Structure 1
Amino acid sequence: MNGTHYSGEIADLLGRVRRRPTADWPWHPGEPVPGRLPVKQCWGWLFAPDGRVLTLVNPRDGVVGLPGGSLEPQDGGDPAVALAREAAEEAQALIDGPCHVGYLYDRVGATNGGRECARVRMAAALRSVGPTAPDPASGRHYRRLLVAPGLAVELLGWGASGIRQARAAIQAAVALFQVPGRASEVIEELPAGGCEFRPCV
């Protein structure tokens, strides 16, 4: 398929996208988090069977994100548990097989009281999404878009570091979930009532 395709409604939504400033956090692909660094956040590249990933758009302010967030006490210090919980809360998504693809070193530690920390990135298979609902933690009601990983980087505003993260996630997803290395270029909003995907195994 040539070019990016999407509906007029999605075009309007994307026209209001606001990108966060790019943080200068060094990317460590494939490396485990050193024991001295606490893991404070985990975000996930959640892959549909056709290689697209789930992105969340807050229609109130246009900010785009991947599913994920801060580790909470109930996560037991496990980023994979945190990702599964956050994906369910933010996107009503069920995931499978989350795997570590690297981490960002946050020397400033804004989420850790000014002390250095790690922000983990994972890849996982997207199995289903339920009926759309507000995030219980923030009240945000996200729009759920499937997009090619490269476009996700553009929407996120993550620059060169985001491209490297996406490549690491794609490599893991191709190996573990048998998704194609080149994703569909169609931008698709997932149904408000939810949907299921065939198992990515």
Structure 2
Amino acid sequence: MGRIEYSVEIADLLGRVRRRPPAGWPWRPGEPVPPGLTVKQSWGWLFAPDGRVLTLVNPRDGIVSLPGGSLEPEDEGDPGAALAREAGEEAQAVIGRPHYLGYLYDRVGSANGGHECARVRMAAALRAVGPTVPDPASGRHYRRLLVAPGLAVELLGWGPAGLRQARTAVAVAVEHLGVPAAANEAIEELPVLGGPVFPFGG
């Protein structure tokens, strides 16, 4: 693998990244969520045409995340609708049609009042981003980075289980979005003023 390229500003940001401990939720690739198991959250691998994915960095605490979050009443139980809404709120992102990847089984239900739940993962084309603004729900003002999926797993701190999830996402993106299996390795921050990313396909 060649040298990963990024700017001095990104180097400073990455130097402050703090990884969360892995949660240990089992990954169920391609399996539908069983009837009766609540879908509590939906998060997305959002792909640029060169195979990189959108990651969000909170500069206050260094925590890295994928776009996504909890389903709200306006989503009407649709994880794809929740992902599109959350991507817009957190990253000012416009996405293509989401493709279901599988779910993480949360037996403890830390996001569901102590009751077991499913945390869905999806893949979609990152079509465009608008001017960056704070998330209206949390007030967090994220930095928006495009990185290769494997590096995203490293920044997220997800370990081997995260790599398995990333491989599922890449396989679906190659098939349905036409992205390359080997992503561009450069790390790029999306412009503060936004712009198109993946205007066609997906």
Give the shorter-chain TM-score range: over 0.9
> What's the TM-score once normalised by structure 2's chain length?
0.98
- Tell me the distance in 2 between the aligned counterparts of 1:131 and 1:42: 23
Q: Paired residues, what number?
A: 201
SS at match of 1:9: helix
Unaligned stretches of 5+ residues in structure 2: none
CA contact under 8 A between 1:19 and 1:157: conserved in structure 2? yes
1:123-156 C-alpha deviation (Å, 9 max, x unpaired): 0000000000000000000000000000000000
Give the structure 2 partner of residue 11 of structure 1: 11
Tell me the distance in 2 between the aligned counterparts of 1:199 and 1:152.
24
1:43-192 aligned at under 5 Å gives the runs 43-192=43-192
The answer to whether the 8 A contact 1:49-1:200 is kept is no
Q: CA RMSD in A?
A: 0.8
Structure 2 residue matching 1:131: 3-state secondary structure: coil
Per the normalisation by structure 1, the TM-score is 0.98
Amino acid at match of 1:167: R
Q: CA shift at 1:3, angstroms? A: 2.1
- Runs of 4+ in structure 1 off by over 6 angstroms are none
Q: Structure 1: which 5+ runs fail to align?
A: none
Deviation at 1:190, TM superposition (A): 0.2
Mapped partners of 1:74, 1:97: distance in 2? 18
Give the drift of 1:36.
1.8
Q: Deviations over 1:5-31 (max 9, x none)?
A: 100110000000001110010000011
- Identity between Structure 1 and Structure 2 (%): 73
Matched residue, 1:199: 200
Separation (CA, whole Å) in 1 of partners of 2:112 and 2:187: 35
SS, match of residue 119 in structure 1:
strand
